[in-house]
């Protein structure tokens, strides 16, 4: 899945990560991850739109295979993969569980910390804060199981934002009578990383949420 939005060009791709001469495909995002100059472009020209839409289409393909149990499909990722995971869960009610590692981000706290620069335009939906912050997105996942694993030294997702999201999301799960289906762990002395114990937590969470 090429979420950078262009047809690979072997002749020039080896010279640069984002090749501006690549030809954009009909259904893809712009070439590269974009920048804040793209903020006023139409949704179909935003990287974030395509990153989520492509994964949802891939999910539709995956669950169409006879050897796949559609009731046992979950979503996980770290960093941008984590962000894409919670957006997928919010917009597609078919995945049954999620584990999101790093990037449990609330934008108001990110702005206060002066860390918008930690992300490119790929991380944001233009105009979102005119309506709500990310707790409204996370809450759409309920009551499906969601585990969030974060580091208290991760500048991409300030810990005060993580704690605010915990306070706002947990009551939504309680409303559904499923408080145990939401868990957030904030690891001490941990940055933007995937610890071995996080992987253990991820495996155990999916084992419980997607039993054989």
pLDDT by residue for the chain (212 residues), tens only, comes to 445 556 666 666 565 555 556 676 676 666 666 666 777 777 777 777 878 888 899 999 999 999 999 999 999 999 989 999 999 999 999 999 999 999 899 999 999 999 988 887 778 888 889 999 999 999 999 999 999 999 999 999 999 999 999 999 999 999 999 999 999 999 999 999 999 999 999 999 999 999 97
| 164-198 residue pLDDT tens | 999 999 999 999 999 999 999 999 999 999 999 99
> At a CB cut-off of 8 Å and minimum separation 6, what does 170 contact?
179, 182
Q: Which helix (H) or strand (E) holds 100?
A: strand 97-101
CA–CA dist 33, 173 (Å, integer) = 34
- CB of 45 closer than 8 Å to CB of 81: no
CA–CA dist 30, 39 (Å, integer) = 12
* pTM (global) more than 0.75: yes
- CB of 95 closer than 8 Å to CB of 151: no
Facing residues of 187 across strands? 151
Q: Which residues of 98-116 are buried (b: 16+ CB within 10 A; e: fewer)?
A: bbbbbbbbbbebbeeeebe
- Which candidate, 155, 51, 49, places its Cα nearest to that of 103? 155
């Amino acid at each position: 899945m090429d979420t950078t939005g262009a047809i690979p060009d072997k002749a020039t791709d080896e010279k640069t990560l984002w090749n501006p001469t690549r030809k954009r495909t009909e259904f893809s995002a712009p070439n590269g991850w974009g920048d804040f100059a793209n903020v006023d472009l139409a949704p179909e020209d935003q990287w974030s739109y395509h990153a989520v839409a492509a994964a949802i289409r891939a999910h539709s393909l995956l669950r169409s295979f006879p050897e796949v149990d559609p009731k046992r499909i979950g979503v996980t990722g770290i960093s941008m993969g984590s962000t894409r995971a919670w957006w997928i869960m919010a917009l597609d009610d078919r995945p049954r569980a999620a584990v999101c590692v790093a990037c449990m981000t609330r934008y108001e706290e990110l702005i206060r910390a002066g860390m918008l620069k930690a992300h490119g335009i790929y991380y944001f939906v233009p105009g979102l804060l005119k309506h709500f912050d990310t707790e409204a997105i996370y809450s759409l996942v309920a009551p499906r199981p969601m585990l969030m694993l974060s580091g208290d030294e991760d500048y991409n997702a300030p810990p005060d934002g993580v704690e605010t999201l915990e306070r706002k999301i947990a009551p939504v799960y309680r409303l559904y009578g499923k408080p145990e289906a939401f868990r957030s762990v904030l690891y001490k002395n941990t940055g933007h990383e995937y610890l071995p114990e996080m992987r253990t937590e991820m495996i155990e969470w999916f084992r419980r949420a997607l039993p054989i």
